[in-house]
Amino acid sequence: MSSGRTTPDSVFRALLSPAGRRVLRAADPDEVAADPLKAATALRAVAEEAAAEAAAEGAPPVPADALAGAALTQARLRGRAREKFGARAGRMYFTPQGLEQATRSPVAAYRARRLAAALPPGARVADLCCGIGADMIAMAEAGLRVEGVDADPLTAAVAAANLAELDLAERARARVGDAAVDTRAFDAVFCDPARRNARGRVFDPAAYSPPWSAVLAAAAGAPVSCVKAAPGIPHEAIPADAEAEWISVDGDLKETALWRGAGAPGGRRATLLRGAGGTAATLTADPGAGPAPVAPPGRYLYEPDNAVVRAHLVAEAAALVGGALLDPNIAYITADRLVATPFCRALEVREVLPFSLKRLRAALRDRGVGRVTIKKRGSAVDVEKLRRDLRPAGPESAVVVLTRVGDRPISLVCSEVTGTE
């Protein structure tokens, strides 16, 4: 059957029809990843049959080739989406850009719980730039009523389909619209501006879509607001009356959330989420804390989580472990005592050397090290070249940390910590 003239919106609507759902059920993400050509051929045959049956029953014509192509795309995206959404990804719908920017489930659930805790039961939330609905899903599941808008018709349709698929349409709805919503009728505003354009990722908040100034203005119209930004947002772009929260998942820094209103005491915090359930640990700024002390390398080296580093909470982390910085401008903490904390990774220091390829190679050789993990902060060394030049060989493993103290480059040969004192 000829596809005729189709649009992304019409193809997606066809995918939601009985014929489209039949084709989508036949699109297995693992099979598509293993042999895309074979999967595409099989899907085309299923799509031809489904389209013919739909036409015989008087349903609107469904272009078979467009239907097969849309199902193939969804299968690919569902396979990629497992990292963010787990098994639920197999029931959801995506666009490539929507999946790229979508909040992963543990982060969205954590944020929704915090938002719900600051609001009365059943509060109304405006989700500006709702994307494919990841945050709407979490907020609705947290007991909030959500109205989402997105400027792109296809993206808004995908969000609405996801809400329907997950039986959340009674608590949340998505529609086409821009961020210029009258937020006075809502108890809270959430906004996740687009941080990608045709050329790729956008780092300047002024180049977000909508622009940063418009996002902050829209959020200011509600009693409570949360704005999502890139983890590298400049501190000077953060409003003085907002609490900035850097969030990492299993050690991987994901985003910054800016909170205003009830439940947002202001200042800075780092929140670390662990595991599929998103167990949270939060470190907040201590207004009375001064600069961390500085000391030479001790028995242990602590590497703060990147959320802690971006939140400028390294001094607070050093206080937790009774440690000091190796260098006042570099986020490595040293201490002679091992203290368990979720905010830092601990390594045991075996040897400290002035940085020299010859010395480092000899130290690793003497220890029989064949597996090397190289980490660095404050060092300009090319890690991959160094790994090749070291030519490690042996049964042992080590972590090599490259950093500097003042203007003196050093390397620390470390081992993983297996327990606490």
pLDDT of residue 110: 95
Residue 173 β-bridge partners: 147
Predicted TM-score (pTM) of this structure: 0.89
pLDDT tens figures, 387-417: 999 999 999 999 999 999 999 999 999 999 9
For residues 325 and 335, what is the distance between their CA atoms, to the nearest angstrom? 9
Residue 171 β-bridge partners: none
**Residue 24 in tokens:** 């989508």
Mean pLDDT of 142-164: 96
For residues 264 and 244, what is the distance between their CA atoms, to the nearest angstrom? 9
pLDDT tens figures, 156-213: 999 999 999 999 999 999 999 887 777 888 999 999 998 876 677 778 888 888 888 8
**In which band, very low, low, confident or very high, does the pLDDT at 262 lie, cut at 50, 70 and 90?**
low
Q: Check whether 420 has a pLDDT greater than 60.
A: no
Mean pLDDT of 247-270: 88
pLDDT tens figures, 298-321: 999 999 999 999 999 999 999 999
For residues 235 and 226, what is the distance between their CA atoms, to the nearest angstrom? 16
**In which band, very low, low, confident or very high, does the pLDDT at 359 lie, cut at 50, 70 and 90?**
very high
Which whole-number Å values give the CA distances from 401 to 14, 109, 301, 325, in the listed order? 55, 35, 9, 14
3-class SS of residue 26: coil
Mean pLDDT of 21-34: 93
Chain-centroid distance, C-alpha 24: 27
**Residue 87 in tokens:** 């098994």
In whole numbers, what is the pLDDT of the chain averaged over residues? 91
For residues 366 and 360, what is the distance between their CA atoms, to the nearest angstrom? 10
For residues 267 and 383, what is the distance between their CA atoms, to the nearest angstrom? 35
Mean pLDDT of 129-144: 96
3-class SS of residue 265: coil
pLDDT tens figures, 381-392: 999 999 999 999
Q: Is 371 left (phi over 0), alpha (psi -120 to 50) or beta?
A: beta
Residue 196 host element (H or E): strand 196-197
Burial (Cβ within 10 Å: 0-12, 13-18, ≥19) of residue 281: middle
Q: Are 174 and 160 in contact (CB under 8 A)?
A: yes
Between 154 and 182, residue with greater pLDDT: 154
Strand 279-284, strand 300-304: pairing: unpaired
For residues 274 and 254, what is the distance between their CA atoms, to the nearest angstrom? 13
Q: Are 58 and 119 in contact (CB under 8 A)?
A: no
Q: Check whether 278 has a pLDDT greater than 80.
A: no
Q: Are 191 and 128 in contact (CB under 8 A)?
A: yes
Structural domain spans, the chain: 8-82, 99-284, 300-416
**In which band, very low, low, confident or very high, does the pLDDT at 421 lie, cut at 50, 70 and 90?**
very low
Residues in the chain: 421
Residue with tokens 């090599």: 400
CATH fold group of domain 99-284: Rossmann fold (3.40.50)
Residue 296 β-bridge partners: none
pLDDT of residue 4: 47
pLDDT of residue 403: 97
3-class SS of residue 211: coil
pLDDT of residue 53: 80
**Residue 131 in tokens:** 């994307």
Give phi and psi for 407, each to the nearest 5. Answer: -100, 15
pLDDT of residue 181: 76
Q: Check whether 3 has a pLDDT greater than 50.
A: no
Q: Is 158 left (phi over 0), alpha (psi -120 to 50) or beta?
A: alpha
For residues 270 and 107, what is the distance between their CA atoms, to the nearest angstrom? 13
pLDDT of residue 296: 95
Q: Check whether 102 has a pLDDT greater than 80.
A: yes
Give the DSSP letter of residue 292: P
| Amino acid residing at 393 | A
Q: Check whether 55 has a pLDDT greater than 80.
A: no
Select, from the ranges 118-122, 206-210, 275-279, the one with the highest average predicted confidence (pLDDT). Answer: 118-122
